[in-house]
Amino acid sequence: MSDKATLNVEGKSYEFDVFTGSENEKCIDTQNLRAETGYITMDPGFGNTGSCYSSITYVDGAKGILRYRGYPIEELAEKAIFIETAYLVLYGELPNKEQLKSFSDRLKEHAPLHTNLEHHFSGFPKSAPPMAILSAMLNLISCFHPEVLEVPTTGEQFDRTASLLLSKVRTIAAFAYRMAAGKPINHPNPNLTYCGNFLHMMFSDPYQEYKVTPIIDKALNLFLILHADHEQNCSTSTVRVVGSSRANLFSSVAAGVCALWGPLHGGANAAVITMLEDIKKSGRPLTYYLEKAKDKDDPFRLMGFGHRVYKNFDPRSLILKKRVHDVLEALKVQDSLLDIALELEDATLSDDYFVSRNLYPNVDFYSGILLRAIGIPLNMYTVMFAIGRMPGWIANWKEMHDHNLRISRPRQIYTGKTTRHFIPMAER
């Protein structure tokens, strides 16, 4: 097999290296294209552009495969807990018992926030979206831990910084919710698990301590595991782009939170629930919504449908669809939104518009129903996604540094006016 690709342009022939990844994915290395030919590639939205070589996560969109460090998502969802998955994504191997214990101890140590940082929460208006608070507070943490600004990507200081971030993101999220709800904050309890502690900080009240049930603990672990990484998606690419200027890890993930917020990315999990509620309230037939989604003059899209990479099925959605049933059954909860979601999925499967464009439910379609079942309020859904995605963001930021990547700086083709000369005000 040839290990070169040939490009013929303007009567000249150029050769470029071909690289094959460990799962037989292929690329043409065009790093020298502009220098050699004067041409650039044009790929708005980066549908065909590889930005890095990575050994963290593998996705095969045609076959519906997702693996973290080689481990299938189905196995991790069934057998792992979130913090061992986070360890795997960060360090490349599943932790042994001692490694998991010391990782868990570090997470416990870093759970509290600096008291002065706590005061900042009261400065936000009650209506502040928790994603805005999360991004602002993640950036702010670095002011209280100046040592993290110069974080190395290996060794004890990296371990410390990664655990600090993984742990504090959960405390910030819970505090943001409590403050906005006008409720007193709950400090972290070192005797609880990662998920249990989060639920305690969210839901304990001075008169009643929240009791974490195994069903809910497991459901939250599952949600976070399914979101732990997803290679070069919009928010992870943002973290890499920001980090490529050698911005610190905290600013980089704060930017990742902002990218995640949009409804075409992580914000879709809340948008799905809003859409399903609207369908329920309106009493209109599903065909009304399908037609709206197909109408190119209408900005409405079926939220939770479609994916840039998955063109068959999103394995996370299949896992969630099944587990959501189990969780609702175990909690003895009936949710009419699940029935509407199932009907909607069915309707799209026999509709040529969706079938021909490979539009299937993505991770966000059923995840909101799981979060509802465990009592998470709607304005926190995308924050939950951010907590889950933190290991992936940190691992990608680290890998980008380890590979010493150049600053991200795409090119463009200019289509504006050619040179013209300044016109004095009186002549305009």
Does residue 293 bind ligand ACO (CB under 6 A)?
A: yes
Q: Select 40 or 355, whichever has its Cβ closest to ligand ACO.
A: 355
- Minimum Å distance from CB 313 to ligand ACO? 13
Q: Rounded CA gap, 13 and 78, in Å?
A: 52
**Binder among 88, 228, 303, 373 for ligand ACO (CB under 6 A):** 303
Query: In this complex, which beta carbon is closest to ligand ACO, that of residue 143 or of residue 355?
Result: 355
Query: Which of these is catalytic: 364, 402, 403, 421?
Result: 364
Active site residue 346: no
Is 364 among the residues known to form the active site? yes
User: Is the separation of the CB atoms in 223 and 75 below 8 Å?
Assistant: no
Q: Rounded distance, CA 163 to CA 168, Å?
A: 8
Applying CB under 6 A, among 106, 160, 187, 308 the residue interacting with ligand ACO is 308
Helical pair 214-226 and 363-373, crossing angle rounded to 10 deg: 160
- Least separation in angstroms between residue 264's CB and ligand ACO is 4
Task: Give residue 73's region: left, alpha or beta (phi > 0; psi -120 to 50).
Answer: alpha
Give the nearer residue to ligand ACO in terms of CB position, either 106 or 265.
265
Binder to ligand ACO among 217, 229, 345, 364 (CB under 6 A)?
364
Could you say whether residue 114 binds ligand ACO (CB under 6 A)? no
Question: Of 164 and 302, which has the nearer Cβ to ligand ACO?
Answer: 302
CA distance 193 to 181: 24
CA distance 68 to 386: 17
Of residues 188, 306, 388, 391, which one binds ligand ACO by CB under 6 A? 306
Which is closer to ligand ACO, CB of 256 or CB of 306?
306
- Based on the shown chain and the rule CB under 6 A, indicate whether residue 307 belongs to the binding site for ligand ACO: yes
Nearest distance from C-beta of residue 353 to ligand ACO, angstroms: 7
Which residue number is nearest to ligand ACO in terms of Cβ?
Answer: 306
Q: How far from chain centre, in Å, is Cα 7?
A: 36
The verdict on 305 binding ligand ACO (CB under 6 A) reads: yes
- Residue 302 makes contact with ligand ACO by CB under 6 A: yes
C-alpha dist (Å) from residue 175 to 98, 185, 314, 334: 31, 6, 32, 29
Number of residues this chain uses to bind ligand ACO (CB under 6 A): 20
**Closer CB to ligand ACO, 47 or 206, in the complex:** 47
Q: Is 345 in the site for ligand ACO (CB under 6 A)?
A: no
Smallest distance, Å, CB 235 to ligand ACO? 8
Q: Does 317 bind ligand ACO (CB under 6 A)?
A: no
Task: Name the active-site residue from 110, 145, 200, 307.
Answer: 307
Interaction mask 231-270, ligand ACO, x per CB under 6 A: --x------------------------------xxx-x--
Residues making contact with ligand ACO (CB under 6 A): 45, 233, 264-266, 268, 293, 301-308, 357, 359, 362-364
Enumerate the active-site residues.
307, 364
